Amino acid sequence: MDIIRNFCIIAHIDHGKSTLADRMLQLTGVVDERQMRAQYLDRMDIERERGITIKSQAVRLPWTGRDGRGYVLNLIDTPGHVDFTYEVSRSLAACEGAILLVDAAQGIEAQTLANLYLALAADLHLIPVLNKIDLPAAQPARYAEELAGILGCDPAEVLQVSAKTGEGVRDLLNEVVSQVPPPRGDPHAPARALIFDSVYDTYRGVVTYVRVVDGRLSRREKSLMMSTGAAHDTLEVGVISPEPVPVASLGAGEVGYLITGVKDVRQARVGDTVTRADRPAAEALAGYDHPRPMVFSGLYPMDGDDYPDLRDALDKLSLNDAALVYEPETSTALGFGFRCGFLGLLHMEIVRERLEREFDLSLISTAPNVVYRVTMDSGAELTVTNPSDFPSGQAGVATVSGDIAKGKIAAVFEPVVKATILAPADYIGTIMELCQSRRGTLLGMEYLSTDRVEIRYRMPLAEIIFDFFDQLKSRSRGYASLDYEADGEQEANLVKVDILLQGQPVDAFSQIVHADAAREYGLSMTSKLRELIPRQQFEVPIQAAIGSRVIARENIRALRKDVLAKCYGGDITRKRKLLEKQKEGKKRMKTIGRVEVPQEAFIAALSTTPDKR
């Protein structure tokens, strides 16, 4: 056990974590030049393209230390985005140490800081490292000072590397050996292993990643999931180096994988403890909280015929993504689809992109919303994940939620988060202005260095998921970074704004907003739709309303002319093709009452970010 070092890398997107991992794979000889490809550990195309890690990976690296001894280093890759904090904490629990990797030209970012705090809370040994020292813009001295200030170490202890050129990486691996403590655990006790990830593989079934804490797991004995009590044949145990390599057994302190013939990741739940069926442990290891979806959105196929395919695709994706929840819903405007719950906006985007790319689906998604808790005068309580289900608040008016939603609303509660923003001090004013306008309450502000600050706000989550990040980036010229964590709920004066076309409500456009922002939402939505919906053969009023009270109104004037004046002999083919195209387009239109709304109008109206054109 004393030759094992389990560690992870904590870094912000683009700070070079995957490149550093690539260099480590090469230096330790696990991957040779011929096999090498960039971002070796990021398996999904989407991970490589976006330069992010979504799923954690564990890879075993053999290394000869300065003392000449052979060591086994287990690098446990961690996701770097706020949405995946949950995955990060899982990875951290499998390690004794963490490399804190920071771009020497940019300094620490808010999410890195948040993950750093998670690592400190998990009692991990931290090795601060500045990357990209080869860049002309690098300021290693300045950011070493900043890191030292946060960690309470000496700036000289901050290592400097270039993952790109490989400079300093050998020293870093040696420091991992000398600084990260070896795992502790009882090799003779009944086996206990913590599941830190579970991945569905089409060919091999569920592959379960574990960190063995006590005892030994081997292929010969049946394994037992302690939360369910279900025993399974152990078909294979192995390590990743960097491809799966079967081994006879995994001992205390080791990191590897199990294949048990389980078909569904939910039967090998992350956070569960695996033990041996013949000699089970008495007590399970401390697990993790199950991740709770924070952001909801309706996903609908562009082509209604694709609904069964969307259902199959969601079933398959969720095999690998325990955080994704979904249930069928019907929209009068968009047809049959699913209300899906996500960890955050990036999670939502990634799921959507994977559905479109890996399953060849074209989707429309409704504007994201959070979960509301609504209490009624009658004492009844509702959980609202879809704005259409928000009670109208008027006595005697039934909504789709049925009887329970009748009567008057007593109170509405919305989720709140603690947001941490790191930014150059120059932008304090504009950032505070933004947070204030989003109903934030200042919790505190600290200077990380003379010109960088950490600003903390308590804010409604709903304000963050609506265009906040883009605003923050544009107001700070891209310098500010954001992290947030759930922080309970608060009562708020919230109302549902409905959008009506010719008097018909369009459920996909209903949104729950703060009463003070309702009119602005109504105005922006109605004017946006006025631009997006083509003129019809009749006038179309567009209204925004709270209940029966109209708060904004626009008109689409009736179309008076659409005919192409000329039609010579040479125009006929083109005119017929145009007509065929328009007829196709008409099939893809959604009809609200008599109004034909092109799908592009839905997509554009539902996008949270303003059109960049």
Partner 1 sequence: MAGALPAGDPVPPDGALPAAALAGVGERPFGVYVHVPFCLTRCGYCDFNTYTAAELGGGASRDGYAALAIAEIRFARRVLGTARAPVTSVFFGGGTPTVLPPSHLAEIVRAIDGEFGLAAGAEVTVEANPETVDERVMAGLRAAGMTRISLGMQSAAPHVLATLDRVHEPGRPARCARWAREAGFEHVNLDLIYGTPGESAADWAATLEAAVAAGPDHISAYALIVEPGTRLAARVGRGEVPRPDDDAMADRYLAADDLLTAAGLRWYEISNWAAGDRARCRHNLLYWTGGDWWGIGPGAHSHIGGTRWWNVKHPTAYAARITAGVSPGHAREVLTASERWLEQVLLETRLASGFPLDGLGGKGRVAAGAAVASGLLDAAALRSGRVVLTRQGRLLADGVVRDLTG
Interface with partner 1, residue 586, by CB under 8 A: yes
Query: Least distance in Å: CB of 332 to partner 1?
Result: 22
Distance CA 270, CA 222 (A): 19
Query: Least distance in Å: CB of 588 to partner 1?
Result: 13
Cβ proximity to partner 1: between 38 and 559 the closer is 559
Cβ proximity to partner 1: between 33 and 562 the closer is 562
Query: Least distance in Å: CB of 534 to partner 1?
Result: 10
Query: Least distance in Å: CB of 563 to partner 1?
Result: 4
Cβ proximity to partner 1: between 141 and 559 the closer is 559
Q: Which of 582, 591, 608, 609 binds partner 1 (CB under 8 A)?
A: 582
Find the angle CA(199)-CA(16)-CA(23) to the nearest 5 degrees. 80
According to CB under 8 A, which residues from 312 to 371 bind partner 1?
Answer: none
Cβ proximity to partner 1: between 443 and 589 the closer is 589
Q: For residue 10, what are its two tokens?
A: 């904590």
Q: Which of 580, 593, 609, 610 binds partner 1 (CB under 8 A)?
A: 580
Query: Least distance in Å: CB of 336 to partner 1?
Result: 23
Cβ proximity to partner 1: between 244 and 534 the closer is 534
- Site track 69-108 with partner 1 (rule: CB under 8 A), x = hit: ----------------------------------------
According to CB under 8 A, which residues from 513 to 572 bind partner 1?
Answer: 537-538, 557, 559-572
Query: Least distance in Å: CB of 79 to partner 1?
Result: 46
Cβ proximity to partner 1: between 227 and 582 the closer is 582
Cis peptide before 242 (omega within 30 of 0): yes
Q: Which of 279, 477, 576, 588 binds partner 1 (CB under 8 A)?
A: 576
Distance CA 418, CA 482 (A): 10
Among 152-160, 182-190, 350-358, 573-581, the segment contacting partner 1 (CB under 8 A): 573-581
Sequence-ordered list of residues with C-beta below 8 angstroms from that of 386, at least 6 positions apart, any chain: 296, 298, 329, 339, 369
Among 59-67, 138-146, 247-255, 582-590, the segment contacting partner 1 (CB under 8 A): 582-590
Give yes or no for a contact between 481 and 423, defined as CB atoms under 8 angstroms apart: yes
Distance CA 283, CA 541 (A): 65
Cβ proximity to partner 1: between 436 and 582 the closer is 582
Interface with partner 1, residue 588, by CB under 8 A: no
Instruction: Check residue 571 and give left, alpha or beta (phi > 0: left; psi -120 to 50: alpha).
Output: alpha
Distance CA 111, CA 92 (A): 15
The closest of 2, 23, 31, 5 to 240, measured between CA atoms, is 31
Query: Least distance in Å: CB of 172 to partner 1?
Result: 56
Q: For residue 59, what are its two tokens?
A: 């890879």
- SS3 of 86-98: HHHHHHHHCCCEE
Q: Which of 178, 403, 579, 600 binds partner 1 (CB under 8 A)?
A: 579
Cβ proximity to partner 1: between 442 and 578 the closer is 578
Cβ proximity to partner 1: between 289 and 584 the closer is 584
Give yes or no for a contact between 519 and 511, defined as CB atoms under 8 angstroms apart: no
Query: Least distance in Å: CB of 565 to partner 1?
Result: 4
To the nearest 10°, the Cα dihedral for 121, 122, 125, 129?
A: -70
Cβ proximity to partner 1: between 477 and 557 the closer is 557
Cβ proximity to partner 1: between 69 and 588 the closer is 588
Q: For residue 339, what are its two tokens?
A: 């209300």
According to CB under 8 A, which residues from 190 to 249 bind partner 1?
Answer: none
Interface with partner 1, residue 575, by CB under 8 A: yes
Give yes or no for a contact between 310 and 337, defined as CB atoms under 8 angstroms apart: yes
Query: Least distance in Å: CB of 559 to partner 1?
Result: 7
Distance CA 59, CA 78 (A): 12
Among 236-244, 309-317, 459-467, 579-587, the segment contacting partner 1 (CB under 8 A): 579-587
Among 180-188, 345-353, 386-394, 575-583, the segment contacting partner 1 (CB under 8 A): 575-583
Cβ burial 127-145 (10 Å sphere, 16+ → b, else e): bbbbbbbeeeebbbebbbb
Cβ proximity to partner 1: between 245 and 558 the closer is 558
Cβ proximity to partner 1: between 396 and 570 the closer is 570
Q: For residue 219, what are its two tokens?
A: 């292929």
Q: From residue 128, how far is each of 95, 97, 116, 149, 251 by CA, in Å?
A: 16, 11, 10, 11, 29
Q: For residue 46, what are its two tokens?
A: 């989407």
Q: Which of 34, 37, 188, 583 binds partner 1 (CB under 8 A)?
A: 583
Query: Least distance in Å: CB of 599 to partner 1?
Result: 17
How many residues bind partner 1, per CB under 8 A?
27
Cβ proximity to partner 1: between 398 and 564 the closer is 564
Query: Least distance in Å: CB of 591 to partner 1?
Result: 12
Distance CA 560, CA 579 (A): 19
To the nearest 10°, the Cα dihedral for 94, 97, 102, 107?
A: 110
Among 70-78, 120-128, 269-277, 580-588, the segment contacting partner 1 (CB under 8 A): 580-588
To the nearest 10°, the Cα dihedral for 529, 534, 539, 543?
A: -10
Cβ proximity to partner 1: between 2 and 531 the closer is 531
Q: Determine the length of the chain.
A: 613
Distance CA 318, CA 301 (A): 18
Distance CA 402, CA 132 (A): 58
Query: Least distance in Å: CB of 562 to partner 1?
Result: 4
Distance CA 203, CA 290 (A): 27
Residues that bind partner 1 (CB under 8 A): 537-538, 557, 559-577, 579-580, 582-583, 586
